[in-house]
């Protein structure tokens, strides 16, 4: 375990951007993490903890220390026969989809709607990942994290994490103060007879296409979600992207009604005190879907099947992608009076 110098981060971010880290190292244990944090280079800062690099836009070289989280481990740590639940503990460096597959193999349900979300387990609570009617907080029990300043381990309860829509205290008051080392989820056993969450979005339609007519199992729902995501979202191995770039904005019911009168096709989903509007629909209406920018046939742009996804066709810089994101924000603000906010972390 030692710090490497001048390392390309291209293999470690799903946009495939070729930026350099002044120092780079991996850690596979809490002890290694403590040693790296105590190094003079890390003490001098800045510091970046890297998971799967799937929710990150790097706009320039990083002049500090990048530490890649490779803490592993998937295990059932307890069972509750009365509630038919089990606690699953996962190391923060495990892939999120790997956790979902492990849960399904153990006949546990609760995270099947979150199948194929890219990234690591440790990144999941930072933004309370969610998809197809489910969020991490629905099954979250607690997490373990190491304080960067002191090296002490601390356990955070669900309430202490302050989860919101793609938010947590780790993106707000405690940003850059802790490294998540493990996450514990409370999942359901099959005998709980808990109905699957299969009514959201296109899941029902996809289940029918797959020939699943009866009450779907958690594995069936996972299969449908994987099918949907692969049909709508580009594979980062084939084209650089970070998945959904923007959060879906929420507007007041009055604002939604006003927009609906002007744009009858505007979708909306009621949430407490507001209406959630699909950012992808707004971006498409503003004329950005399939847009390509840059030299030749275009180095970067907006995906042609999902306007919520910005893509690197090859040769783009992070700054070019950031400028495109800012252009989209301005256009949506001008046309709809709605402010879009990035879901991706921009450095």
Average pLDDT over residues 131-150: 95
53-67 average pLDDT score: 94
Given the residues 94, 135, 250, 343, select the one marked as catalytic. 343
For 4-69, CATH gives 3.30.43.10
Q: Is 323 exposed, middle or buried (0-12, 13-18, 19+ CB in 10 A)?
A: middle
Residues 144 and 181 sit within 8 Å (Cβ to Cβ): yes
240-346 has CATH 3.90.78.10 classification? yes
- Confidence (pLDDT) at 242: 92
To the query of whether residue 244 is one of the catalytic residues in this protein, the response is yes
Contact in structure between 185 and 90 (CB atoms under 8 Å): yes
Identified catalytic residue from 166, 186, 189, 322? 166
pLDDT 10s digits, 245-284: 999 999 999 999 999 999 999 999 898 999 999 999 999 9
Which residue has 């470690």 as its token pair?
Answer: 12
Average pLDDT, the chain: 93
DSSP E strand stretches across 137-282: 140-147, 153-157, 178-189, 240-244, 250-251, 269-271, 274-276
- For residue range 75-111, what is the model confidence (pLDDT) as tens digits? 999 999 888 999 999 999 999 999 999 999 999 999 9
Any catalytic annotation for residue 115?
no
Q: Could you please report the per-residue DSSP string of 132-171? A: TTEEGGGTEEEEEEEETTT--EEEEEHHHHT-BTTB-GGG
Q: Pick the catalytic residue from 186, 222, 244, 250.
A: 244
Contact 299, 323 (CB under 8 A): no
Confidence band for 197, pLDDT divided at 50, 70 and 90:
confident
- In angstroms, the CA 233 to CA 325 distance is 18
Same fold, 74-232 and 240-346: no
Calculate mean pLDDT across residues 176-191: 93
The per-residue pLDDT for range 26-51, each reduced to its tens digit, is 999 999 999 999 999 999 989 999 99
Q: Mean pLDDT over residues 132-140, rounded?
A: 94
Q: Give yes or no: 5 in active site.
A: no
Q: What is the pLDDT of residue 313?
A: 94
Query: Which residue ranges make up each domain of the chain?
Result: 4-69, 74-232, 240-346
Domain 74-232 belongs to what topology? 3.30.465
> Residue 202 has what pLDDT?
83
């Amino acid at each position: 375990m030692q710090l490497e110098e001048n390392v390309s981060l291209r293999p470690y971010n799903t946009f495939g951007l070729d930026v350099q880290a002044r120092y780079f190292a991996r850690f596979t244990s809490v002890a290694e993490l403590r040693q790296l944090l105590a190094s003079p280079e890390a003490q001098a800062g800045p510091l970046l903890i890297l998971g799967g690099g799937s929710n990150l836009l790097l706009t320039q070289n990083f002049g500090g220390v990048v530490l890649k989280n490779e803490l592993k481990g998937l295990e059932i740590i307890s069972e509750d026969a009365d509630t038919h639940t089990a606690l699953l503990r996962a190391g923060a460096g495990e892939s999120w989809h790997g956790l979902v597959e492990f849960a399904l193999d153990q006949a546990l349900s609760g995270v099947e709607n979150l199948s194929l979300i890219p990234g690591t387990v440790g990144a999941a609570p930072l933004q309370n990942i969610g998809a197809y009617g489910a969020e991490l907080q629905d099954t979250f029990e607690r997490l373990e994290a190491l304080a960067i300043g002191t090296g002490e381990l601390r356990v955070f309860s669900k309430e202490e994490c302050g989860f919101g829509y793609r938010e947590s205290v780790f993106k707000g008051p405690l940003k850059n103060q802790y490294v998540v080392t493990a996450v514990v989820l409370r999942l359901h056993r099959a005998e709980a007879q808990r109905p699957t969450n299969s009514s959201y979005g296109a899941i029902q339609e996809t289940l029918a296409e797959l020939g699943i007519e009866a009450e779907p199992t958690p594995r069936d729902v996972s299969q449908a979600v994987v099918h949907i995501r692969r049909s709508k979202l580009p594979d980062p191995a084939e084209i650089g992207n970070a998945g959904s770039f923007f959060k879906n904005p929420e507007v007041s019911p009055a604002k939604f009604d006003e927009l609906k009168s002007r744009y009858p096709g505007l979708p909306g989903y009621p949430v407490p005190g507001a209406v959630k509007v699909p950012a992808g629909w707004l971006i498409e209406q503003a004329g950005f879907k399939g847009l390509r920018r840059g030299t030749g046939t275009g180095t970067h742009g907006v995906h042609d099947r999902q306007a919520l996804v910005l893509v690197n066709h090859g040769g783009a810089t992070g700054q070019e992608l950031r400028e495109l994101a800012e252009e989209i924000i301005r256009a949506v603000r001008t046309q709809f009076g709605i402010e879009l906010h990035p879901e991706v972390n921009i450095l």
